[in-house]
A = this chain, B = another copy of it.
């Protein structure tokens, strides 16, 4: 698998360069760039993991938390620069839906086909569900409703205020998890010990180099990718919303998707759930507010105001995920329920 990704990267980056020089068709460029981004993100994931092991759990957790969604962040910055605010908000929505319903659903479903009942930490599930409610139900819903009776300037002020609060709370959450309450809720010591004996795949130097190069490469390819959206949308009859919510979200999160499912099939549900829900929280509480702040230096500022369908899809996805995962257990049917919800929303965004 890793070898295939290596080949894809070594072929994809030059092809992107040649293609954009020679003005290949948008659809060809769209496919090349998408595949290349997915391949590069697998390298970023491996580099981050190696660094995390080398630098110990605290710095490692921080690294994972910031580089875990680096690809989305980079794609989104280019989209902001191109003034595609709608696409950015849609791809944030798509990441939330994709992580909760698609990744979560596939993990529960595939894992559940092999194991009758899979368990994961109830404490983590509840900690995460509180944050999901905070991020999506409070921090995303409030500006939406309040913005209805506000002018644009005030909406932006509210968005900036909320963004700063969210980032502070996100960082406080890392302190809580990695410093003050580390291991407080762990049920067994085994997990902790096993983790610390893990061997990094790459040395610190090699990992850093690969991380740097991958970031540059992903940035380069993403820029080309963003510019294909409009033409591809027109050709396939896809709306800006559908491209953002479904396509960009799948490309941007492909790496996490596969590793969560692999973990679920190894019955490591704690890790699978942490990837699915943890990644959602990163997007909602860190990537989204950071993009709002970055957008202040861009031609067009982005308020934290989603379209009503986006907001309702996210809020209902959160309620469904919480009610399904609240008991610290999963099975194939719960996975299927999440996938069915994803499919319903996918059809909705396609038709919109």
Taking Cβ atoms with an 8 Å cutoff, the residues of A that contact B are 116-117, 122-123, 126-127, 129-134, 137-139, 141-143, 145-146, 148-150, 154, 157-158, 161-162, 165-166, 168-169, 172-173, 176, 180-181, 184, 308-309, 312-313, 316-317, 319-320, 322-324, 326-327, 331-334, 336-337, 340-341, 343-345, 347-348, 351-352
Chain B residue with the shortest CB-CB distance to A176:
B333
State whether A162 touches B344 (Cβ < 8 A): yes
The residue on B at minimum CB distance from A341 is B138
Contact A130 B324 (CB under 8 A): yes
List chain B residues, Cβ under 8 A from A158.
347-348, 351
The interface residues of chain A, by DSSP majority, are classed as helix
Give this chain's copy count.
3
How far is B326's CA from A133's CA once the two chains are assembled, in angstroms? Answer: 13
A317–B344 Cα distance when bound, in Å, is 22
CB of A172 within 8 A of CB of B333, answer yes
Q: How far is the CA of A117 from the CA of B116 in the complex (A)?
A: 32
- Listed by A's residue number, 12 A-B pairs whose Cβ atoms lie within 8 Å are A116-B181, A122-B327, A133-B323, A138-B341, A139-B344, A141-B312, A146-B351, A154-B352, A158-B348, A173-B333, A176-B331, A176-B333
Alpha-carbon gap, A36 to B231, bound state (A) = 63
With CB as the reference atom, state the residue of chain B lying closest to A126.
B327
Q: How far is the CB of A78 from chain B (nearest CB, A)?
A: 28
State whether A344 touches B165 (Cβ < 8 A). Answer: yes
In the assembled complex, the CB of A62 is this many whole angstroms from the nearest CB of chain B, namely: 16
Q: Are B352 and A149 in contact (CB under 8 A)?
A: yes
With both beta carbons as reference points, the residue of chain B lying nearest to A161 in the complex is identified as B347
Considering residues A130, A176, A320, A332, which has the most beta carbons from chain B within 10 angstroms of its beta carbon?
Answer: A130
In the A-B complex, list the 3 residue pairs whose CB atoms are closest, starting with the nearest: A176-B333, A161-B347, A146-B348
A142–B104 alpha-carbon span in the complex (Å): 20
Our pick among B123, B126, B312 for the contact of A326 (Cβ within 8 Å) is: B126
Does the CB pair B145–A344 fall under 8 Å? no
Our pick among B116, B138, B154 for the contact of A316 (Cβ within 8 Å) is B138
